[in-house]
Structure 1
Amino acid sequence: MDLQFVYQKKRSEFGRQCLFSDKGPDLIDNYPSNKEHLPNFILRDPFTQGTQCSTIQSEHDLNTTRAHFINYGINHSEGGWPKDVSKDEEEQVKRYRRKVEKEDAYNPTVMSLSKSMEYFVLQNNSINIYQQYFTDMKALPMVEPSSIRTVNVYHDQCTTKRPVNRISWSPDGGTKLAVTHCCLEFQKPTTPSTSYSYLWDVENPNTPLLTFTPIETPMVCIEYHSKDVNTLISGHISGKVDVWDARKGNDPVNKSTTDVSHREPVRSVLWINSKSGLEFFSTSTDGQVKWWDTRKLNQPLETLILSAPGQVIEKAMSACSLEYEPSIPTKFMVGTEKGSPGEKMATRYAAHLGPVLAIQRNSGYQKNFLSVGDWTIKIWSEDCRESAIMWTPSHSAYLSDGSWSPTRMSVFYTTRSDGVLDVWDVLQQQRHACMSTKVSDEPLSCLRIHEQGRLIAVGTAKGTTSLVQVTENLATSSKQDKSLLNAMFERETKREKILEARNRELRLKMKAKSAEAIPTESQGQMETLAVEGDEFELDPNVQLAEEEFYYIVESEEKRGTYESIFCLFCF
């Protein structure tokens, strides 16, 4: 059996013929060395590489027969109907069919056509070995692991490093960042260079796009207009508010006067819905909330004093955070240093043991809002006044800021004093953060989330602003997230209502028993004693915090770290 086959190829297909000859080397050009150029060269370490035993390489090519395809198309219209029968009229079609079925040639014609039709039906039902049975099934998306990475870092241009107080994204898709730097320590000396704040281009972390130069005092907070990419408002440590136009340089275009401004540093400014679109709120630690119009800063439109028994400035509660939801134009929320956020003073919530540093409504459920203070985060409902519906355990580090994700309703982010950024998802777990990342070695002071949910600007106590990016799964909601979160909020709200009713019932019983047990001379004295007993009743939130505190102290004492935990809580 002959197993040989000869491959033939024309000589012209091999390429140009190589003609070799025995000839000595030719000197084409000669460049003598010049010692003057020696300083321009960098000496390189000796490097030796053998070239005799190099890898053998070869070239292969393969040509296949190309298949040529041609597409044809035909136009088909239903025919065979008589001119007096319209195929669009159902009655005429039925009448014509009954007429054809009564003819004598109808049955033989159908019988003759049935054999060929049966053949094609059986052929169509035969097994196709190339058929794809799972074309209708959609491929399940791959589960992406959650992660956070740092994209850019923006440094304070001042030699004296100052904390980052507030960050604001521009409304044109978040291409710019407005960052304020200010030290709020009491009687901290300031210079013109330490009063500067910056406007950054997100893509350029080296040089600020614009430097804000306040005339008198540093800027504490700043906020972009929701529709105008050039208009900003700011609050200053002197209590004044300014209006800025990025097109007109680094000086304010309008500012308030001292006699109508706040008496202490402005902690928050927010734009509100109005016909002109030029009105905003400001709040300060002097216990006032002022309503301004950017066209007339010589006098606020309205002033609210945060005092429970009337508008008394001496009894006002210092405000440190402000929240306004445009979809609820008649309500705004204020977080005070006494730990209770009040909504237009119509409702007061005993939220935290310290200042409420951040407060924000959920983007999908306006009745539920988040508050950040001391060492915990709490989620509240407007239907429950006495306690939160959800809260986190006490952290070992002090919390500084928090915010809901604008694109995924169940996720919120918090910053801590140990430089850690926490990511919480209430649908996954409530006792621990689903992810924690060390962003900086310095304490984190504030954060602001991009409108698309993937970029987060985080400020530190040393003046550094880090731009971090989260994965897509932390910024995208699934189809079931909204229904599951709604069911969770309703369940927790109903549970808290039942517990509130039970606690009120127990308190009434305790009052009745104490009033009956204490002998008094008159009914008036009995009522006074009952009221005094109610005043000294321990707050459930304080009792819970005390239990958690002693539990942490005991657990850390067993591990030999009692002193550090004790100092941390004392601070």
Structure 2
Amino acid sequence: MSDNASTSRRRDEIERKKQKIAELKRAREERSKALHAVKETENMSHATRRKELEDLVASLVGERARKQDDVPTLGHVAPTLTQIKTDVLPSAPMAASPDLDGDELTDNNEKVYYEKEIQTADSSFQTEDADPEPATKEAEQSTEPVVQEPTPEPEPEKLRELEDYERDMILHSEPFQDFFDRSAKLIERALNSKYDVLTDYTLTDDFQGDIDTGKGVKHTITFSDDRWTKNRSVTDISWSPRHPELLLASYNKNQSSISDPDGVVLIWNLHAPERPEFMFHAQSDVTAACFSEFHPHMVLGGTYSGQILIWDTRTKRVPVLKTPLSAAGAHTHPVYSMHVVGTQNAHSLVTCSTDGTVCSWQMDMLAHPQEVLELAHSPMDSTNLRPTNEIAVTTLGFPANETTTFWVGTEEGVVYQANRYDRAGGKAGINSLEPYVGHDGNITSLHFHPLNGPLDFSDLFLTTSVDWTVNLWKAKNPAKQNNLATASTTPVGTTMRPLCTFEESDDYVYDAKWSPVHPSVFACVDGSGILDVYDLNQETETASASVTLGGNFGNSSSSNSGATGFAALNKLGWDKSGAKIAVGAADGKVHVVDVGEIGVPKPDSWVQFQKTLAEMGHGA
């Protein structure tokens, strides 16, 4: 029995030695890895490594290692790994390692070793030939951080699939519709952007293709909508004063649909031509519309029934303000023209109707007009051949910076000067003793020259008529002094004549407007579908450029087409930069054209235009 027990003990001892040898091999491999890691960091500075070692000691032994003031140090050298092991396990038996050549210090059964390599130069912890004791291995194992198992994340709650009625309720809800409509417009604008994100600015531009010189008028885009512009005619055009890419167009009734609103105002975006940016409704044909100059989010409209409407782009499609449908609303006849006059702090809306009524409105109150002026012929006017004294006003215009004196065009083909208030030498109303006679038919538009440039030509205005002509006039204004030889000494009671008549059109001329930047350039449109652009500094008898907005652009089968088969052009509007013209057609389409170099003024354009006007005055 004793032999068996002795054999068993020896066998157990052999197994323990084998385990010890295996542990020593693993420790040697780990030291080899540590040595390799230290060698890779030899390019680090000594101060950096010393700080890292101190941080390591502080994290392993805590405050205890820092408080050992009785241990002699050599230049505040960091303790070796052997010191760390003995500090963690002070009760373990320890023998000096054969490869440690240094002094041994004993304090309270704790053996601390200091390596000469660590004290004198940058080196590794130990060499590969060292054979550490089992306590050393256990100390190394005790210094390894404990890895905590990650807490499993809770499974996400499974989403419930909506029922059909719930999905339909969400899709048809007002918040979702607003969100979808707004998001879709943003995507359309981005997709229609002309900017090439793949442009390589390092390459030389060697393109030799067909390059547009920009010298002529060129069609660029057409706005139309099968739902809202089909079988309607454009009645007015206006560009946004704040956002140059927004364009307003008003429309009359769609005779083929009784369920659609009679009047429609659409705001188009040059960056998203597929559909309108905003849409507004009216109970009657919208005959005149424009953006408010001082409130760009407001849209003003006049209707065939005589109502004045105000829409807001921040709200829904219906008007936010409107006049009553009664005699108290002041207008009971169609309103074909309106203007916002005044300044940012004091302005009003002036409208006129075919019954000769001119009204002034406060923008925030349309219950009743602020002023009402009835235009009528003077009983002492010998030129009045009408059976009634009433004047059927079709259009009106204010000179730049003028708020009291204005000019009106009438169905009889005569233009009159009128005053909103009584003034010295005249009463409120029209001055029928000095008519502007030059047309043989209904006057369709009247537009004053804008006040821009070094010279003032704001007393010039254009008129168009169904007699196929465009006339250029100089308004008689005693408050202004001008050296042009036209009517500056005109006696009271004398008929005013145009400076020049343009007879290039072969159909009704519906609209004409001056360029906002070039003093001698204006454009006009007629019933044959032609847009003419005149530069009076170059030519006074023929148009400098013309473009037919019909055929590929118009609807030749429209019931409102002119004699040539092209859709008639009703209205036009220049953008603020003077580079583009928007043209409204009788088939409901809105065309945008680029005028190119014709619309760009030269430094001497104002002086040259003054000479041109002087020649016209002498020839009149």
Q: Give the TM-score band, short-chain normalised.
A: 0.5 to 0.7
Matched, 1:201 2:275: no
User: Taking structure 1 as reference, are residues 269 and 382 closer, same or farther at Cα in structure 2, changes over 3 Å only?
Assistant: closer
CA–CA distance in structure 1, aligned partners of residues 292 and 513 of structure 2: 19
**2: CA distance, partners of 1:242 / 1:468:** 30
Q: Could you tell me which residue of structure 1 aligns to residue 173 of structure 2?
A: none
CA distance in 2, matches of 1:449, 1:479: 21
Instruction: Name the structure 1 match of 2:191.
Output: none
8 Å CA contact 2:506, 2:528 repeated in 1: no
- Larger-Rg structure: 2
Aligned to 1:362, which of 430, 449, 452?
449
Query: Which residue of structure 1 lines up, in the alignment, with residue 234 of structure 2?
Result: 164
Residue 341 of structure 2 contacts residue 402 of structure 2 at CA under 8 Å; is this kept in 1? no
Distance 1:184 1:489, change over 3 A: farther
Q: Tell whether the 8 Å contact from 1:351 to 1:371 is kept in structure 2 after alignment.
A: no
Equivalent residue, structure 1, for 2:334: 265
Match 1:223 to one of 290, 294, 304: 290
Query: Structure 1, residues 448-493: CA drift from partner, whole Å, max 9, x if none?
Result: 110111111101001000111111x212111221111112223433
Moved more, 413-422 or 387-396: 387-396
TM-score using structure 1 length: 0.58
Aligned to 2:602: 478
Give the Cα–Cα distance (whole angstroms) in 2 for the partners of residues 377 and 144 of structure 1.
29
- Aligned counterparts, 1:93-492, within 5 A: 146-156=215-225, 157-158=227-228, 160-183=230-253, 191-214=259-282, 216-257=283-324, 258-259=326-327, 260-274=329-343, 276-309=345-378, 315-344=389-418, 345-346=430-431, 347-363=434-450, 364-373=456-465, 374-383=467-476, 384=487, 385-393=495-503, 395-440=505-550, 441-471=566-596, 473-492=597-616
Moved more, 278-287 or 161-170: 278-287
For residues 270 and 407 of structure 2, what CA distance do their matches in structure 1 show? Answer: 31
Deviations 1:376-401 (A, max 9, x none): 11111124352111111353222111
CA deviation after TM superposition for structure 1 residue 313, in Å: 12
The separation in 1 between residues aligned to 2:379 and 2:237, in whole angstroms, is 34
Deviations 1:343-397 (A, max 9, x none): 2123421131111111111224012111111211111112435211111135322
The amino acid across from 1:147 in the alignment is: G
Quote the offset at 1:321 in angstroms.
1.3
After superposition, what is the alpha-carbon deviation per residue over 1:413-467, rounded to whole angstroms, capped at 9, x for unaligned?
Answer: 0101111111111111122111111112311111011011111110100100011
By how many angstroms is 1:189 displaced? 8.7
Partners of 1:168 and 1:251 lie apart in 2 by 19
- Please state whether the residue corresponding to 2:342 is helix, strand or coil: coil
CA distance in 2, matches of 1:455, 1:335: 27
The CA distance in 2 between the partners of 1:423 and 1:263, in whole Å, is 36
- CA distance, structure 1, for counterparts of residue 496 and residue 330 of structure 2: 34
Matched residue SS, 1:248 = coil
The separation in 2 between residues aligned to 1:371 and 1:477, in whole angstroms, is 23
Q: Distance in 2 between matches of 1:267 and 1:194?
A: 16
Is contact 1:305-1:313 (8 Å) kept? no
Moved more, 319-328 or 165-174: 319-328
Q: Matched residues in 1 for 2:214 and 2:458: separation?
A: 30
Aligned residues with identical type, % of pairs? 23
Q: Which residue of 1 aligns with 2:617?
A: 493
What is the aligned residue count?
A: 350
The separation in 2 between residues aligned to 1:343 and 1:467, in whole angstroms, is 33
Give the superposition deviation at 1:325.
3.0
CA contact (8 A) 2:253 2:284 kept: no
2:356 maps to a residue whose letter is: G
The RMSD of aligned alpha carbons is 2.5
TM-fit CA distance, 1:239: 0.2
Contact 1:160 1:194 in 2 (8 A): no
1:209-267 CA distance string (max 9 Å, x none): 111022x2132111111132201211011101011111012111111112223121110
The separation in 1 between residues aligned to 2:273 and 2:585, in whole angstroms, is 16
> Contact 1:273–1:326 (CA<8 Å) still a contact in 2?
no
Distance 1:449 1:282 in 2: 22
2:469 alignment partner AA? T
How far does residue 154 in structure 1 lie from its aligned partner after superposition?
Answer: 0.9
Deviation at 1:146, TM superposition (A): 2.3
The structure-2 alpha-carbon separation of the partners of 1:253 and 1:382, relative to structure 1 and needing over 3 Å to count, comes to same
* Aligned residue type for 1:230: H
In structure 2, how many angstroms separate the alpha carbons of the residues matched to 1:228 and 1:456?
A: 23
Q: Is the 8 A contact 1:173 1:451 kept in 2?
A: no
1:338 offset after TM fit, Å?
1.0
Q: Give the letter for the 1:351 counterpart.
A: G
Q: Answer whether contact 1:166 1:222 (CA < 8 A) is retained.
A: yes
TM-score, length-scaled by structure 2 = 0.53
SS of the aligned residue for 1:484 comes to helix
Measure how far apart 1:336 and its partner are: 1.0
More off after superposition, 373-382 vs 385-394 = 385-394
CA distance in 1, matches of 2:508, 2:334: 22
